[in-house]
Chains A and B, each alone.
Chain A
Amino acid sequence: MRANLQLWSKIKPAFWDRRDSDLELLNYRRLWRTTFWLAVAVTLTPLMFLALINLYQFQQQYQMQHGEITSHLQRLMAISRVQISDFLDERRAALTYVSLANTFQELAEHRHLARVFSRLRQSFGGFVDLGLIDAAGIQRTYVGPYNLQGRDYRDQDWYKEVQIRGIYVSDVFLGHRNFPHFVIAVRHERAGEEPYVIRTTIDTGRLNELLRATDLQPSGDIFLVNQQGVLQTPSRLYGGVLAGFSLLSGPPAEWHGIREVADNQDRRLLLGLARIQGTPLTLVVVKQPQALLHKWDLLRINVIVMVGLSVVAILVVIWWVSSTLVNRIYDADLRRASMLHEAEYTNKLASIGRLAAGVAHEINNPVAIINEKVGLMRDLLGVSQDFAHKEKFLQQAAVIQDSVRRVSEITHRLLGFARHLPLRNEEIYLEALIREVLGFLGKEAEYRNIDINLMIPKEIAPIQADKGQLQQVLLNIINNALAALESGGEINISVAEQPGDKVAISIADNGEGIPKDHLQRIFEPFFSTKGEKGTGLGLSITYGIVRKMGGRIEVESEPGEGTTFTVILPRRQPTSNQPAPAAV
């Protein structure tokens, strides 16, 4: 969740968090969302549609391939099953022939049986031994590598089975020589003769060869299992003879044919089973279809990857385009609104200015009268003879004249601020101008015990600028500096020459400073950290005025250490109005 938020804070459009209620000409977030999602829908819908069609086609191809593999497997299984049956039938038929072609007495003779055994080995192969068991279940004659002569089989299960069914084929087992083989026994019964059984052991090597010849490489396997699911021939994938075959949960006899199963590694396999009739054996065919279907999978993955990459690229581009677009609209609206507000503010200032000028003018006239009256009083006192308290009267008159001068200074200052528009060029001595501005703010600084230091070299030449406007600029910046300071703070105001016939006025305070994320925005209209007290217009108007004067403002701030505003002005204004008349 936090990672999501971090990602969002990195990629969100620049306007996202700016909620200037005065500027809600449009809901920019909604505009952005609409633009974004509309573009996403228009571009991604056909792409997704195409991708789905493509995947559907692949699915069809896949299933076709799957069907082909299954039928191939079925054919293979049928052929192998016939081969195995034939192999077993051949051996069984050979034994039946031996029983038919020879009498019990002939076979009971060891030399005769050895000859028959030798012929069988020569003509069929795979025979390991041959024995003759009489009706009592006793092995009468035996030819082979083991010593089984005279063995009593009467109570053994296979003997009982051959008595009932006439034939018996055993599971595979490891004999004394650790060699896998199995047993075939055939019962002979003819009228007038005593029944007997011919039993032989067959080497599974030939059977293995038969199965190995079936081409199921590399991902397939073919082998035989018994009724208990134990391997009867070696398997490439599932171990040697007599190992358990794990894929079968129940006896193999319960089902027949091909089905899909999952192995212990969750790979999907095709498993085919076929009973070999008359034996305990079941033929097992295993195939990993994935191996054959691999190239289809590759194609499908290619499509998915390509679509995925396209979607990502499209989303990035749409994101960028919508953000840029809405940002530009936002910026344009902001500029327009700020210009409107600036004009409004300027008008308001002009009205206040006119009002102040009127009041100042009205006050100025009675003040001028007081001035003349007091002047006359002093003149008359000057020419009068001494009388009681004459000196005292003269002193009082001087104090009244001094007060009149102070009142007139105030009215002139008010009149000076009233003149704002249009931008006019006057010769301005910066030190005098700054002192004049401090005349307005000095009291506040004094009350709050804030030191204001001026560092203005005497050799700084006057500049051409609009006095009222420049006063406004300095007033705003110094006011902000005062607001940023605690009691006992310090403001340093300095003026320095700059290359290119410019001057730089720096106002540095050692107040709270401006956080980095605010620094970018302090000149934006309506951006204020003073809450209810600030309009958020002061610095924006200041910025506008300085730009109009052909200058610029630089800000450096370190939170906790202070802020320095530097106003850099050209010595001469870009649009040169006629200079005001100088006092003659």
Chain B
Amino acid sequence: MRVLLIDDEKELVSTLSERLDLRGIANDWATSGEQGLELLAAKNFDWVVVDLKMPGLGGVGTIQAIKRRQPQARVMLLTGHSAAEDLKQALEMGADRYLVKPVDIDDLLALMQQGRD
């Protein structure tokens, strides 16, 4: 399983990446949607974890682009809060699961496992 993490908070995304590394999960990380899409062009990912609120392309824009380029990749949306309108839009755009920040890594892994079945 290969995971791509996209979040504008570098400290967050890098730390999360390190924790996944420790659990033996291959992953890459990016601090913007655009950067993430570049990585996505180079490799295939099973899961892409995307923050909802980001400058530039933003969460929703990024998800749309991902779904266009790699429809098989599953998308996990990270959100500061489950604001219904945003979530609804994101889920409609193709996000498969969502998690509310701060993320419990065990919840993240459990959801990913479920999604794979």
Contacts and interface: CB of A to CB of B under 8 A. Distances in A.
B83 to A, nearest CB: 7
Contacts of A580: 84, 87-88
A135 B98 CA distance: 161
Contact of A581 (B9, B80, B84): B84
A367 to B, nearest CB: 6
Interface residues of A, number: 29
A581 B87 contact: yes
The residue among B9, B18, B23, B80 with the most chain A CB atoms within 10 A of its own CB is B80
Contact of B81 (A372, A380, A405, A412): A412
A368 B12 contact: yes
A361 B53 contact: yes
Contact of B101 (A368, A380, A419, A583): A368
B84 A364 contact: no
Interface in B60-117: 80-84, 87-88, 91, 96-98, 100-103, 105
A369 B11 contact: yes
B48 to A, nearest CB: 16
B81 A376 contact: no
Contacts of A404: 102
Contact of B84 (A371, A424, A584): A424
Interface residues of B, number: 26
Contacts of B42: none
Contact of B82 (A369, A380, A583): A583
A372 B87 CA distance: 23
B113 to A, nearest CB: 13
A412 B53 CA distance: 16
Contacts of A379: 18-19, 22-23
Given A380-B22, A419-B83, A371 B103 contact: yes
A360 interface: yes
Given A383-B22, A581-B91, A364 B11 contact: no
Interface in A399-414: 404-405, 408, 411-412
B102 A419 contact: no
B14 to A, nearest CB: 9
A364 B102 contact: yes
Nearest to A372: B15
Contacts of B101: 364-365, 367-368, 371, 408
A521 interface: no
A371 B99 CA distance: 14
B19 A376 contact: yes
Given A365-B9, A372-B15, A383-B22, A415 B83 contact: yes
A373 interface: yes
Nearest to A370: B102
B84 A372 contact: no
The residue among A372, A404, A411 with the most chain B CB atoms within 10 A of its own CB is A372
B71 to A, nearest CB: 19
Contact of A360 (B53, B81, B82): B81
A581 B88 CA distance: 7
Nearest to B12: A369
A371 B53 CA distance: 18
Nearest to A405: B102
A467 to B, nearest CB: 10
Given A373-B11, A419-B83, A583-B98, A368 B19 contact: no
B12 A372 contact: yes
B4 to A, nearest CB: 17
B16 interface: yes
A83 B15 CA distance: 147
A360 B96 CA distance: 26
A369 B83 contact: no
B60 to A, nearest CB: 15
Contact of B102 (A361, A376, A383, A408): A408
Given A376-B15, A424-B84, A584 B102 contact: no
A536 interface: no
A372 to B, nearest CB: 4
Contacts of A371: 101-103
A413 to B, nearest CB: 10
A375 B15 contact: yes
Contacts of B11: 369, 372-373
Contact of B98 (A370, A415, A584): A584
The residue among A357, A371, A380 with the most chain B CB atoms within 10 A of its own CB is A371
B84 A419 contact: yes
B15 A373 contact: yes
Given A372-B16, A379-B19, A380-B22, A415 B81 contact: yes
Interface string B6-49: 00010110011011001100000000000000000000000000
Interface string A397-436: 0000000110010011001000100001000000000000
A404 B16 CA distance: 16
A581 B96 CA distance: 12
27 contacts: A357-B81, A361-B53, A361-B80, A361-B81, A364-B81, A364-B101, A365-B9, A365-B80, A368-B80, A369-B11, A370-B102, A371-B102, A371-B103, A372-B15, A375-B15, A375-B105, A379-B18, A379-B19, A379-B22, A383-B22, A404-B102, A408-B101, A408-B102, A580-B84, A581-B91, A583-B82, A583-B98
Closest 10 CB pairs of A and B: A371-B102, A372-B15, A368-B102, A580-B84, A415-B81, A368-B101, A364-B80, A369-B12, A369-B11, A379-B22
Given A368-B101, A415-B80, 20 more contacts: A361-B81, A365-B9, A365-B80, A365-B101, A367-B102, A368-B9, A368-B12, A368-B103, A369-B9, A369-B12, A371-B101, A371-B103, A372-B19, A376-B15, A379-B18, A404-B102, A408-B101, A412-B81, A419-B84, A581-B87
Interface of A: 357, 360-361, 364-365, 367-373, 375-376, 379-380, 383, 404-405, 408, 411-412, 415, 419, 424, 580-581, 583-584
Interface of B: 9, 11-12, 15-16, 18-19, 22-23, 53, 80-84, 87-88, 91, 96-98, 100-103, 105
